[in-house]
Chain A
């Protein structure tokens, strides 16, 4: 297959602080305060406070409001509706399947099409709309799990492991470390889908976000606060907390906990051991290797740009598959707790 000719997209400029869209003076997921920010989703490394105007989906704006108490002038962008953002640039948001409200952004200018994915996954997720393949010339993708060792197993098996661990410990509890936005709610929904309808206990840092999800139409079943209750009440229960709380003083209140963590990194034993995890649950809100390469094949862009993650391996794959690709040196995108 011949390599397609390189397009000359001088209007879109990758910068260490985000993707800069020059004709309309707007930034995508900037890591510094800017006049106009197009935000793909609510995770703190993509959605920061202090901007002039924020263009995002309804759910992302609600999440940012909760986190920053109003991040700037909100401009709500409906899914799949092209919006003129000035300078001859049209932006259209499509679902990215990452967390509630997450979007990829299609930018069109002078007949040229660029898609910025933000973070995304291809697996079904009961808390958000699934990723859609959007044809484009330049595909700007993440590569958090961009190594062929990463293959996320079906989530049903991971839920089974979690429920088995709970059953084996009537006198203890299972403490699940899960990122506060997205992962926690997905784990709760999947537990419900697996038929678990006991109350689920939450660390204080998860309570507001779970309440917001429910408000935005994602039912989570009965949730209880794990703060300020008797140790005995937590026996035989599942408790969700941010990953950082697992090995910290907070966990001393739990009765004989098994330490579980829901993260794509749990696929690698050493990563799990480093974090003192006893029950690794391989659950990720990002693409695994096969999904990344499958997505590039389906989108079939003229050129692929890789924003963050393990870009070296993905570039190598593109090279082996006769695809033009480059890495963007982006700063401030984190992947530790996914």
Chain B
């Protein structure tokens, strides 16, 4: 437990991604089984001990500490587990040799029930120091919140044993904590975990930005780039799972899709919600904003299923009836995919239409003329490209629609973290809520922390320092004299912001030193760009 507590402690204070990877990889290499497996499960959020809740911890504490002093402490610290770890009255005569191992902790936590937890958890807490108690409570409540994503933990696993992260992702959904077969494969060269019985995630093939490249339409096929989320549907052994691009299982969020595939296959497509914002009636898809209402839910109401039904626009087929098609060229796979459509429910699936273009110039014209702002752009796929995990140069390209642009005024700046910790690098900008010459005010419309070069960052940092009019903790308010040209992909109505608008992917496109602040855009101009 001590090694795990130290890992949690150090991860808490580490900001650099590489340093986090090193810490986790080092831990996984040097810790014995099954402890390291349990730790990996904790870091990837795969553990849940239903008997231990935040309220359990609170009850334990208020039995031991004056409730008023507990509440004052909790309010100050802001985290129940940390408050408890600090306030826990250490027993007399501590015996460090009695510290439990992580696997012993798991066995004890699993054995606890709602009725025994109030007597059993204290015994465990008594055997640990403050750091150990913190790690234990975070571990037991399943909410680590130490800035480590499940993906980062898997990358660290691959790094620890020098195996390919794509392979780790591929086996991941077929193994259970504490992952003995996964460690045996990666650390000791045993055969990989079996993958033929569970609906596993296969890493996606991804595209490079086209930039200045010009391709021949003889070699490449073009499709629209729909603005939903990329998903993979996997059916095997009577079970279907829906995976997001990061390999997260989102079947529970989209149960109608999990029910819709009933033969062994792995399909690749764009998850969308029915509507007409993207591509009109023919396009048949609602805006990303409509889809967003359904993301991140663990359960879905009937009303939601009725009002925002999901479907998948298919791009590719990776495996069909147990046959792996990934080695075939794109054109052959496309034929297989088209033949598959008869076996799929048209309510839940349609086929991503190909764009008929005679030449690259022709395609450019079609792309320019796409009336529909909600479509993200165009995809170009080499006709003979096999399905290869990751981004391989020359096979697939994305040719995004040109971004929308608007001129905003810099309002606030905040210092960044990590390498940027000494720079003001997070910028909040606003538009005028009326005529600035008639006393209109600026309303914040967005926040951006990229899009500029290192030199521009230095310049912006200096501008902020020299033009500060107010400080609020880490935030500086500037004199609102600087115009920034902001590029963004789309803008939506939002109740969360005072301006009533929220941008997608805002970034700083240009610093407009030449433009006076009162000539920056108004809220109305931004509102006119809303497409849903």
A interface, CB within 8 angstroms of B: 147-149, 151, 247-249, 251-252, 259, 267-270, 272-274, 276-280, 310, 312-313, 316-317, 320
Contact = CB atoms under 8 A, between A and B. Distances in A.
Contact of A276 (B66, B78, B82, B417): B417
Specify the main secondary structure of chain B where it touches its partner. Answer: helix
B472 interface: no
A148 B13 contact: no
B69 interface: yes
A213 to B, nearest CB: 29
Interface string B407-440: 0000000010100011000000000000000000
Contact of A148 (B15, B73, B474): B73
Contacts of B68: 313, 316
Contacts of A272: 13
B355 interface: no
Contacts of A247: 415, 421-422
Nearest to B89: A148
B69 A267 contact: no
Contact of B13 (A267, A277, A310, A316): A277
A273 B12 contact: yes
B14 to A, nearest CB: 6
A149 B12 contact: no
Interface residues of B, number: 24
A320 B66 contact: yes
Contact of A273 (B13, B66, B69, B415): B13
A273 B9 CA distance: 12
Given A272-B13, A276-B417, 8 more contacts: A247-B415, A247-B421, A259-B421, A277-B13, A278-B13, A280-B13, A313-B69, A313-B72
Contacts of B86: 148-149, 151, 267-268
A269 B87 CA distance: 14
B388 interface: no
A313 B73 contact: yes
B65 interface: yes
Contacts of A277: 13
Contact of A147 (B76, B79, B82): B76
A278 B14 contact: yes
Contact of B421 (A147, A276, A310): A276
B77 A268 contact: yes
Given A149-B83, A247-B422, A279 B13 contact: yes
29 contacts: A147-B73, A148-B65, A148-B69, A149-B73, A249-B422, A251-B421, A251-B422, A259-B421, A268-B76, A268-B77, A268-B82, A269-B12, A269-B134, A270-B78, A270-B79, A270-B82, A273-B13, A276-B417, A276-B421, A277-B13, A278-B14, A280-B13, A313-B68, A313-B69, A316-B66, A316-B68, A316-B69, A317-B69, A320-B66
Contacts of A268: 76-77, 82, 86
B13 A149 contact: no
Contacts of A249: 422
Contacts of B134: 269
Q: 3 closest A-B pairs (Cβ-Cβ)?
A: A149-B86, A313-B72, A149-B73
Contacts of B76: 147, 149, 268, 310
A24 B12 CA distance: 53
A312 B13 CA distance: 30
Interface in B9-45: 12-15
B79 to A, nearest CB: 7
Contacts of A317: 69
Interface in B260-294: none
Name the residue among A147, A259, A280 with the largest chain B CB count within 10 angstroms: A147
A103 B79 CA distance: 37
A274 B422 CA distance: 14
A293 B320 CA distance: 72
Interface in B73-102: 73, 76-79, 82-83, 86-87
Contacts of B69: 147-148, 313, 316-317
A30 to B, nearest CB: 27
B82 A269 contact: yes
Given A149-B83, A149-B87, A252 B72 contact: no
Contacts of B15: 276, 278
